[in-house]
Amino acid sequence: MAEEIEDLQAILRDDPYNYQARRTLSIALLDAGFNEEAKKNLLYLIRSFPDNAELLYNLGIAYEKLKQFDKAENAYIRAIEISPETDFFYNLGLTFIEEEKYEEAVPVFKKVLEVEPDDSNSYFNLGLCYFKIKEFDSALENFQKTVELNDRDLYAHFYIGNIFREEGLLDLAVEQFNKVLALSPDYSWAYFNLGSIAYEMGDTESAVFYLKSTLQYNPLDLEAYKILNKIYLKQGRFMEASDLIKMAMEAIPQNGDLYYNYAQIFKAQGDVEKWQKALSETIKNHKTLTYPFEGVKTELKEANAILKERQKDLPPEPEPETAPEQIPEPQEELPPEVPVQSENPEAIE
């Protein structure tokens, strides 16, 4: 690939107007990940060929890779206006998803499916759009069509599981999440969902297993730490809870939710001083706090009140004994100080 790019660049140095070489170079640059350079070459070509749909399509790809989705959208729309190719519609739909324009993406993917009715990716993307706008029946229909065409699409199984969970069909949800793990044994979100479902159903043993597995594959999963901490506290496993939250704090430092969970460990143990300190740290890190802030403040006031009351019950500290007044002894008069003479007179200036 690098050799091909160098050869094409050499051709263009000799003949800058060799449009075919520049077009081939643009595609090679895109494939090699040199997106900014590809964009510049495509814009150069489009100035000469403004109605070339393929050039506009590739420009859209360059913008998409550069995360400039608004410009990608415009490039794809211009390409579709010139030549309504299926690939152009598909990439426009993906761009709408990146821009969270889910309702606009729906008719675009439907347009693709009119031409390619067995395209499992378009069914998945259509299902994703419906899921995002909470039209779960339509989402489920499209995800199920996805797995009919491609049963190894783990993301479709994952979203089907989420829909079943949303509808309270927990057994069916568990079945889908297990399918996800059969396809991808290190998919942490599937473990998390199985763990949280087990917790809701009161199966704490399974919940602990799945939540620990979640953290094995994703040590940044904050919700897994929080649920696992709840379980440990209910079971009185304070040492394990403390070790868990310390580990979490190393992975996710300065997090208000973790400090609050840390505070609950000390509260359960009756260690008011450490409870109060952890709550104070929670307040300091309120920007990352999802628990009700006013509730935390109320809890901190409660801890402060207990400490203040305890301070009242302490016996007063004994006053230090006063030392007897010291009478200075009379000092002897010293003779006047005699200057010291150097043994070497030459050293005296």
Task: Please check whether residue 221 is in contact with residue 215, taking contact to mean a CB–CB distance below 8 angstroms.
Answer: yes
Provide mean pLDDT across the span 134-160: 97
20 residue type, one letter: Q
pTM of the model: 0.82
Task: Supply the pLDDT for residue 333.
Answer: 42
Over residues 186-240, the pLDDT tens digits come to 999 999 999 999 999 999 999 999 999 999 999 999 999 999 999 999 999 999 9
Task: Please check whether residue 158 is in contact with residue 170, taking contact to mean a CB–CB distance below 8 angstroms.
Answer: no
Nearest to 111 by CA among 95, 131, 140, 91: 91
Q: With 90 as the cut, is the pLDDT of residue 107 above it?
A: yes
pLDDT confidence bin for 99, thresholds 50/70/90: very high
Nearest to 26 by CA among 60, 70, 51: 60
pLDDT confidence bin for 185, thresholds 50/70/90: very high
Domains defined for the chain, CATH in brackets: 1-83 (1.25.40.10), 254-311 (no CATH)
Task: Supply the pLDDT for residue 343.
Answer: 38
Give the gyration radius of the chain's Cα atoms. 36
Q: What percent of the chain has a predicted confidence (pLDDT) above 70?
A: 89
Provide mean pLDDT across the span 81-99: 97
Over residues 44-88, the pLDDT tens digits come to 999 999 999 999 999 999 999 999 999 999 999 999 999 999 999
Please provide residue 30's backbone torsions phi and psi, each rounded to the nearest 5 degrees: -60, -45
Task: Please check whether residue 192 is in contact with residue 216, taking contact to mean a CB–CB distance below 8 angstroms.
Answer: no
Q: With 60 as the cut, is the pLDDT of residue 274 above it?
A: yes
Candidate from 14-23, 147-156, 226-235 with smallest mean pLDDT: 14-23
Q: How far is CA 104 from CA 107, 218, 346, in A?
A: 7, 33, 102
Task: Identify the residue whose tokens are 């009161």.
Answer: 202
Instruction: Please report, for the chain, how many H helices and E strands are present, in that order.
Output: 18, 0
Query: Greater confidence, 309 or 328?
Result: 309
pLDDT confidence bin for 313, thresholds 50/70/90: low
